[in-house]
Amino acid sequence: MSSLPQILFLLVLGASGYILYKRISYLRQTILLGKPLARNDRPGERWKTMALVAFGQKKMFKRVGPALLHLIIYVSFVVINLEVLEFIIDGLAGTHRIFAPFLAGFYTLAMNVFEVLALGVLISCVAFLVRRNGMKVPRLSSAELKGWPKLDANLILWIEIVLMLAILTMNATDQLLAYRGVEGYIPLGGLWISSSLQGLFDGLSSSTLLLLERGAWWFHILGILGFAIYVTYSKHLHIFLAFPNTWYANLEPQGKIPNMEVVTQEVKSMLGLQAAPEPTDQADIGRFGAKDVPDLSWVQVMNAFSCTECGRCTAECPANLTGKKLSPRKIMMDTRDRAEEISRANAAGKDGVNDGKSLLGDYISQEEINACTSCNACVEACPVNIDPLSIILELRRYTAMEESGSPAQWNAMFQNIETSFAPWKFPPTDRFNWAAKVNQEDTKPTTNE
């Protein structure tokens, strides 16, 4: 390889790295729009959760068929991209298959494993395309997936198909050149998959084969670099965010709804269980609940960017199944879209937070959040431990405590709980009247007939 291709490769690598760095910095700033939240407790459990859920894809296997296809793509993504290291070294040093002379037979075995995985990815991606576009799976054809989300899902599958074809084309032409004795090309002793494709290229001249092989090489490395950048704009960002997302997941029992710390402090001080909190400057007083993205925690915002848009949460939601407007997937997509809207405005020198819009109202309606039963079905269904319920609860808290906008029946229940310590309108002293009646029935004499 002459110095010009090396310089070109270095420029492409540098430009891709810079774009990726800027995009990652942007995503980090966007996620940190959320409030601070400490979640580094119980590290042993967190490592275990990440290993089982992110690495092991434990929750995916509730549906075995799609899970196996997804596992093939996932394993292939990890293993095949090991070859990227050789691509980068060859591109920078002007070499070709630099590891082949050192690894000998093991190199051929590794190439065969890569090709088998590439074929597996091809089959899996075709199956997913048919399933997504031809089988009309309800959760894959919902209203919130129209437009870009649907196009994004299909684009990523086609990109993976083309990249795998590029690998097989590159290997097939590479070995034909090696068998013809072209300088710089090393015979690998037979590759299982690409050898079956050599007949397609056998009649071509060596110069044409060289052009095809180099073209496939460049296409593959440019595709990988472009894919890495594209993923940061796509729902497939979960490829990377699944790991921190499962690490920082809520480890408390799913039915446990956390109390609001400021309210807990006030109640404890009223009951004399702790000293009254220090007076707070009016400007520092936060909201009860959440109206917009900055009122959420950074973990909740990260949840939104980790969303795979698979729709398992919505498919399990009892409110959605009974025709309600609520879709937990849409809640996460709306949160992500609003966070990006704020971040883009901030990057342009505007005040993205005070732009006259908010997450609640402009993106998510009260009808949606009021339909939630707080059953945690969406949390249990998510393959990467996203928690849509926590966002819904924060939005409902804001509606109830800041706007008094809860439904009238709910407000009556809230008032009863406040005054009578129960959802029903009767005094606490009457709470066990039913037990007294039961005791009276038990003590009545029985007559023998």
| Predicted confidence (pLDDT) at residue 333 exceeds the cutoff of 50 | yes
Q: Is 219 inside any structural domain?
A: yes
**344 in a structural domain:** yes
**417 & 365 share domain:** no
What would the pLDDT profile of 43-99 be if each residue is shown by its tens digit?
999 999 999 999 888 888 888 888 888 888 888 888 877 888 888 998 988 888 899
Check whether 437 has a pLDDT greater than 80: no
CB 240 within 8 A of CB 100: no
129 plus 228 within the same structural domain: yes
In this structure, are 204 and 275 located in the same domain?
no
Longest dimension (CA), the chain: 111
Domain region containing 74: 3-31+63-247
Are residues 201 and 266 located together in one domain of the fold?
Answer: no
Residues 286 and 332 grouped into a single domain: yes
Q: Are residues 213 and 341 in the same domain?
A: no
The amino acid occupying position 247 is: W
Report yes or no: 229 and 19 within 8 Å, Cβ to Cβ: yes
Statement to judge: residues 288 and 393 lie in one domain: yes
pLDDT digits (tens, 9 = 90+) for 158-208: 999 999 999 999 999 999 999 988 988 988 888 889 989 998 998 899 999
pLDDT in tens, 228-268: 999 999 988 998 999 999 999 999 988 888 888 878 887 78
- Note the residue count of the chain: 449
Q: Is residue 177 part of a domain?
A: yes
* The pair of three-digit structure tokens given for residue 334, joined into one six-digit string: 């709306």
256 lies in a domain?
Answer: no
Question: pLDDT of 360-414, one tens digit each?
Answer: 999 999 999 999 999 999 999 999 999 999 999 999 999 988 888 888 888 888 8
The per-residue pLDDT for 112 is 92
Structural domain contains residue 45 = no
pLDDT of residue 286: 66
Residues 435, 300: one domain? no
CA-CA-CA-CA torsion for 415, 421, 427, 432, nearest 10 degrees? 150
How many whole angstroms separate alpha carbon 108 and alpha carbon 375? 53
Statement: residue 285 has pLDDT above 60:
no
Q: What is the pLDDT of residues 134-147, one digit of tens each?
A: 888 888 888 888 88
| Averaged confidence pLDDT in the chain | 88
DSSP 250: -
Domain total in the chain: 3
Of all residues in the chain, what percent carry a pLDDT higher than 70? 95
- What band does 23 get if pLDDT is binned at 50, 70 and 90? very high
Question: What is the pLDDT, as a whole number, of residue 1?
Answer: 45
Across the range 3-29, mean pLDDT stands at 92
* Cβ contacts of 156 within 8 Å, gap of 6 or more: 230, 234, 236
User: Are 119 and 145 found together in one domain?
Assistant: yes
Q: Of the candidates 186, 212, 247, which is a domain's last residue?
A: 247
- The answer to whether residue 111 scores a pLDDT higher than 70 is yes
- Which residues are CB-neighbours of 355 under 8 A, at least 6 positions away? 341, 342, 345
The Cα–Cα gap between 241 and 106 comes to: 33
> pLDDT category, 299, cuts 50, 70, 90?
very high
Please, what is the Cα angle at 370 between 367 and 371, to 5 degrees? 85
Nearest-angstrom CA–CA distance, 118 and 262: 54
Block residue for tokens 């594209």:
230
Answer positive or negative: Cα dihedral of 361, 364, 368, 370.
negative
* pLDDT score of 344 more than 80: yes
Is 12 buried (19+), middle (13-18) or exposed (0-12) by CB count in 10 A?
A: middle
pTM: 0.85
Whether residue 235 sits in one domain with residue 88: yes
Asked if residue 448 has pLDDT above 80, the reply is: no
Residue pointed to by tokens 């048919």? 130
Distance of alpha carbon 56 from alpha carbon 50, whole angstroms: 8
What are the φ and ψ backbone dihedral angles of 2, each rounded to 5 degrees? Answer: -75, 175
Residues 328, 434 contacting (CB under 8 angstroms)? no
In this predicted structure, the answer to whether residue 224 has a pLDDT above a threshold of 80 is yes
Q: Are 177 and 211 in contact (CB under 8 A)?
A: no
Residues 87 and 231 in one domain: yes
Query: Is residue 314 a part of any domain in this protein?
Result: yes
* Residues 426 and 365 both lie in one domain: no
